[in-house]
Structure 1
Amino acid sequence: MIQFPIKLAVASKDNISINEHFGHATKFGIYNVTADHCELLESREVAHYCLGQHSDQSAMSGILEAIKDCHAVFVARIGDGPTEKVHAIGVRAVSEYAYAAVEESLLDYARRTAAGEDIG
């Protein structure tokens, strides 16, 4: 059973839609969410992880540190390797809402998760 509020991280270029790839994000919006309310708490800056054909492992540790207190991280896209690392710290990687509006997506996720659906 989920306990509200939940903290959710969002990779977004504009804080309007979930439109940033996990590896390209330089910040994550951190939201406090209940079944009917969504509030932006802060923005956490990170170094971007994806550097073309290779990745920056030190940036990954910084990203994981930045989102470790969140229930889930919402992204437009995320690779299998980063997904495994995110899951290993107990955070869900959610790309189901790619390019959708932030607030509507987070509220839908909170309602569906509270109803027992497995998302992400």
Structure 2
Amino acid sequence: MNGFPIKLAVASTDGISINEHFGHAKQFRIYSATSDRCDFLETREVAHYCLGQHSDESAMSGILEAIKDCYAVFVARIGEGPTKKVHAIDVRAVSEYAYAAIEESLLDYTRRTVASESIG
């Protein structure tokens, strides 16, 4: 299929499930995925963006830089403002797999979403 493999970023505290809020992530786990395979590539450290009632815009630019080469970022939750910023760099924000297993979720997403878009 055209466009495979793709890079996917995941906000996870344990490396097992998609369990971290976008604004609280201190790192993103980067995976390479096809419709039948998911491989962990690296961990990218970031400063967390959400600081209680306000946000750190300099941290946001670092997060966007860290995930800009990814097709999508998987998070437990993400606010409307950060979603718009992620979309502005042509990365999809995905929260439908919150608290699910990472590899199963990435494979399912790749099969359903990416295959239907015929990326390439």
- TM-score when scaled to structure 2? 0.94
1:31-110 matches, cutoff 5 A: 31-110=31-110
Count of residues in Structure 1 that have an aligned counterpart in Structure 2? 117
Superposition deviation, residue 35 in structure 1:
0.4
What is the CA deviation profile of residues 57-89 of structure 1, one whole-angstrom value per residue up to 9, with x for unaligned ones?
Answer: 000000000000000000000000000000000
- TM-score when scaled to structure 1? 0.94
Structure 1 portions without partners, runs of 5+: none
Superposition deviation, residue 2 in structure 1:
5.5
3-state DSSP class of the match of 1:42?
strand
Q: Which amino acid aligns with 1:54?
A: H
C-alpha distance in 2, partners of 1:34/1:15? Answer: 19
C-alpha distance in 1, partners of 2:71/2:114? Answer: 12
C-alpha distance in 1, partners of 2:2/2:81? Answer: 27
Structure 2 portions without partners, runs of 5+: none
Q: Contact 1:23–1:48 (CA<8 Å) still a contact in 2? A: yes
Superposition deviation, residue 116 in structure 1:
1.4
C-alpha distance in 2, partners of 1:79/1:2? Answer: 32
Superposition deviation, residue 114 in structure 1:
3.5
Report % sequence identity: 80
Which of structure 1's runs of 4+ aligned residues deviate more than 4 A? none
